[in-house]
Amino acid sequence: MRILVTGGAGFVPSHLCDLLLSQGHEVVAVDNFVTGSARNVAHLSEHPGFRLVVADVSRELPVEGRFDRIYHMASPASPIDYVQLPFETLLAGSDATKLALERARADGARFLLASTSEVYGDPTVHPQVEGYWGNVNPIGPRSVYDEAKRYAEAFTMAAHRTWGVPTRIVRIFNTYGPRMRLDDGRVMPAFCGQALRGEPLTVFGDGTQTRSFCYVSDLVDGITRLMESELVGPCNIGNPHEMTMLALADAINRTTGNTAGIVFRPLPTDDPTQRRPDITRAREGLGWTPKVGFEEGVARTVAYFAERLSS
């Protein structure tokens, strides 16, 4: 198949490009490097099935020819990024989603939206099931991301109902692995960077807030399965293995041999207190479960960051 991946030079989307190419598809990645980097796909530059186009997908999709599949992955995604890039984030959810869906309609392509567990906000239902409508602050600093993704989901469902576009929506939970940026502000690279530099790890609040971390190869496996399934409604993909930030800090200090301990800082505004996906729909509908255990995933990620810091 011929496949378009918006945001293809980002952390998750670059792994998606790798997987799609390994399955024998032709892939066109479109990215403006607002938060991604050509380095993430540099290893694909000689691949005959791969092409990287530099463009802002909120404005245009300057790629000729018909696509069979469109994965709309472009958006700033870490809290630091979307607070610094509020309008770019809103437009990635709104204008870019509209353009990509119009292209899917014109091409007769299947479309998948990369949505997020942030549509659940600070959830009052735990673990989060797809039927939960969420608890989002519409005007808080995180709202540019949360509400853009909620709008993108609404646009996607409207395109499905009104235009008949075959659409899929993946609600991605915290994902980690190689090609994350050390300075993207997310907890996993932040802890790894501090630990590898021998510094104390910064824990926000009292560290009892929880997250569930999915290794990136498991995530992109789930995303491609969802695209090829018949599940139209949103589908959570994430690892239900939930842990506190204190437990994560301990694990990273242990893996890296860091003895500098931890320091506490005030909790940022609207930081969700708990996060764990209910993955019944993915398990039953896609035959998907995460395969990479936490220790293994952390070891691979630490090795990647260690190499980046030394190069």
- Interface positions with ligand NAD (CB under 6 A): 7, 9-13, 30-36, 56-58, 73-77, 88, 92, 96, 114, 116, 172, 174-175
Q: Is residue 132 among the annotated active site residues?
A: no
Nearest to ligand NAD of 57, 196 (CB atom): 57
User: Closest approach of Cβ 74 to ligand NAD, in Å?
Assistant: 4
Nearest to ligand NAD of 3, 258 (CB atom): 3
Query: Which among 139, 175, 144 is positioned nearest to 79, based on CA atoms?
Result: 144
Q: Can you give the C-alpha Rg of the chain in angstroms?
A: 19
Nearest to ligand NAD of 98, 258 (CB atom): 98
Measured distance CA(214)–CA(149) in Å, rounded? 20
Tally of CB atoms within 10 A around 59: 12
In the structure encoding, which two tokens stand for residue 135, read together? 């608890």
Nearest to ligand NAD of 115, 253 (CB atom): 115
Measured distance CA(97)–CA(80) in Å, rounded? 22
The Cβ-side half-sphere exposure at 110, using a 13 Å CA radius, reads 17
User: Closest approach of Cβ 59 to ligand NAD, in Å?
Assistant: 8
The Cβ-side half-sphere exposure at 79, using a 13 Å CA radius, reads 15
In the structure encoding, which two tokens stand for residue 126, read together? 């735990």
In the structure encoding, which two tokens stand for residue 195, read together? 């630990």
Measured distance CA(190)–CA(212) in Å, rounded? 16
Considering the candidates 71, 82, 120, 145, report the single residue annotated as catalytic: 145
Whether the CB-CB separation of 194 and 253 falls below 8 Å is answered with no
Per the DSSP assignment, residues forming a β-bridge with 234 are: 169
Nearest to ligand NAD of 258, 277 (CB atom): 277
User: Closest approach of Cβ 237 to ligand NAD, in Å?
Assistant: 9
Nearest to ligand NAD of 5, 286 (CB atom): 5
User: Closest approach of Cβ 297 to ligand NAD, in Å?
Assistant: 13
242-244 vs 210-212, strand pairing mode: antiparallel
User: Closest approach of Cβ 9 to ligand NAD, in Å?
Assistant: 4
Query: Which among 179, 129, 123, 133 is positioned nearest to 154, based on CA atoms?
Result: 133
User: Closest approach of Cβ 232 to ligand NAD, in Å?
Assistant: 19
Active site residues: 145
